[in-house]
Amino acid sequence: MTPAEEPASAGSLRVGLIGYGLAGAVFHSPLIEATSGLSLAAIVTSNDERQDDARRAHPGATILENSEQLWDHAKDLDLVVVASPNRTHVPLSLAALGAGLHVVVDKPLAPTAAEGRRLIEEARRRARMLTVFQNRRWDGDFLTVQRLLREGALGEPLRFESRFERWRPVPKGGWREEGAPEEAGGLLYDLGSHLIDQALVLFGPASHVYAELDRRRPSVEVDDDAFVALTHTCGVRSHLFMSVVAAQLGPRFRVLGSRAAYVKHGLDVQEAALRSNPRVDSTGFGEDPSDAWGLLGQGDETRPVPTEVGGYQRFYEGVVAALRGGAKPPVDAADAVAALEIIEAARRSAEQRSIVAVEGNAV
């Protein structure tokens, strides 16, 4: 059965999903199916086992072996989600735009800022929406930091510390740990894309970057332990830590202000929830248990702060609002280019072992 032969919900936007690894299976497909106004019409994966998994999880979707088959049915689609390896983000997005389709790209948008700008220009030229899946803008703990800053609970923000750490002393292998530049592998592209994006959302552009990029595990070709310091033009400093060799984990967030600090441990609960039960509408989805709430205050005078309910589904709700209601895309692709400029500056800083200026301007 082709996408054209399968009935869609009335008025829904028909989505083609490219890739059914972690990103496609755990994040995108459940969120797409949970979003009113979207219909998951087709899934592209060449892996036999993943094809079987996709058929079981999404019986209403057509399973295709390659993207060329998807382009053959482009007229029956509205939107393509690119959730394949990083090296394919640019060519697949260009092909989707060329087929007249709107595009969601998993982070990072591209291996380089220049390629990201090229995608933005192509989307503008074809009057198509291009947005980037920065789902961790809807982490509950990040939403809590935003609220505390908005309320002035911290006073004047001084330093933002953000960590995404794991304990994986044995490499898992795969393209994320390969050193070819076009792979855009390593933690700076992987976890750094999230941490940098969050810092820029909170405190705006950065003028200077200092970074340490290390390879701690034998045979690994890319950074697996990294630190990035940003000096924002507003004066705030962001210290971003990412590692897979952290035998004990630091706080997820530590935000220091002139009046108080906020400290939060533990990762947002949504990824673990989607891995165990890919139902966004399940009871308690996105809710942080009370014993994991962060602390706000000074010294010994602190109080627990309820964590905002996380909502990755809001990204795709924003996609529908953009395509049906004329709203802005949920993530401006220019923000992803700004993050890529930071990544490129971080790589220069690590090579030179010095603070460097951020070059280029986001579109």
Residue 362 resides in a domain: no
Q: Which two tokens stand for residue 19?
A: 């890739």
Q: What pLDDT digit, counting tens, does each position of 255-267 carry?
A: 999 999 999 999 9
Task: Give the burial string for 29-58 (b: 16+ CB within 10 Å, else e).
Answer: bbbbbbbebbbbbbbbbeeeebbebbeebb
Cα separation, 147 vs 160, in Å, equals: 14
Helix (H) or strand (E) run with residue 142 in it? helix 140-151
Domain shared by 78 and 181, yes or no: no
Q: How confident is the model at residue 219 (pLDDT cuts 50, 70, 90)?
A: confident
- Residue 305: count of CB within 10 angstroms of its CB: 20
Cβ atoms of residues 236 and 154 within 8 Å? no
- Which strands, in side-by-side order, build the sheet including 225-232? 301-305, 294-298, 261-264, 253-257, 157-165, 237-243, 225-232, 206-214, 356-357
Q: How confident is the model at residue 362 (pLDDT cuts 50, 70, 90)?
A: very low
pLDDT exceeds 50 at position 40: yes
Cα separation, 272 vs 266, in Å, equals: 12
| Residues 6 or more apart in contact with residue 156 via CB below 8 angstroms | 257, 258, 259
Cα dihedral value 175, 177, 182, 187, nearest 10: 120
What is the mean pLDDT of the segment spanning 118-141?
Answer: 98
pLDDT exceeds 50 at position 165: yes
Domain shared by 151 and 298, yes or no: yes
pLDDT exceeds 70 at position 3: no
DSSP result, 83-135: -S-GGGHHHHHHHHHHTT-EEEEESSS-SSHHHHHHHHHHHHHHT--EEEE-G
What domain range is 72 assigned to? Answer: 3-135+316-330
**Residue 100: which region, alpha, beta or left (left: phi > 0; alpha: psi -120 to 50)?**
left
Name beta bridge partners: 325.
none
Residue 12 resides in a domain: yes
Name beta bridge partners: 229.
210, 239
Note the pLDDT of residue 221. Answer: 92
Residue 172 vs residue 51, higher pLDDT: 51
What is the mean pLDDT of the segment spanning 85-104?
Answer: 98
Domain shared by 347 and 200, yes or no: yes
Helix (H) or strand (E) run with residue 55 in it? helix 48-57
pLDDT exceeds 70 at position 360: no
Note the pLDDT of residue 9. Answer: 44
pLDDT exceeds 50 at position 363: no
DSSP result, 177-216: G---GGG--SHHHHHHHHHHHHHHHHH--EEEEEEEEE--
Domain shared by 285 and 250, yes or no: yes
What is the mean pLDDT of the segment spanning 209-235?
Answer: 96
Number of domains in the chain: 2
Cα separation, 74 vs 260, in Å, equals: 53
Residue 244 resides in a domain: yes
Domain shared by 73 and 95, yes or no: yes
Domain shared by 159 and 304, yes or no: yes
Domain shared by 177 and 265, yes or no: yes
Domain shared by 178 and 294, yes or no: yes
Q: What is the CATH number of the domain that holds 307?
A: 3.30.360.10
pLDDT exceeds 70 at position 7: no
Checking DSSP bridges between strand 253-257 and strand 157-165, what pairing results, if any? antiparallel
pLDDT exceeds 90 at position 20: yes
- Among candidates 95, 132, 123, 149, which has minimal Cα distance to 338? 132
- Distances from the Cα of 200 to the Cα of 13, 133, 220, angstroms: 31, 15, 29
Q: Which two tokens stand for residue 221?
A: 């070709």
What is the mean pLDDT of the segment spanning 167-191?
Answer: 88
What is the mean pLDDT of the segment spanning 37-52?
Answer: 98
- As a whole-number percent, the residues of the chain with pLDDT over 70 amount to 96
Q: Which is it for the CA torsion 28, 31, 34, 36, positive or negative?
A: negative
Domain shared by 177 and 250, yes or no: yes
Domain shared by 174 and 193, yes or no: yes
Q: What is the CATH number of the domain that holds 49?
A: 3.40.50.720
> Global pTM?
0.94
Q: How confident is the model at residue 280 (pLDDT cuts 50, 70, 90)?
A: confident
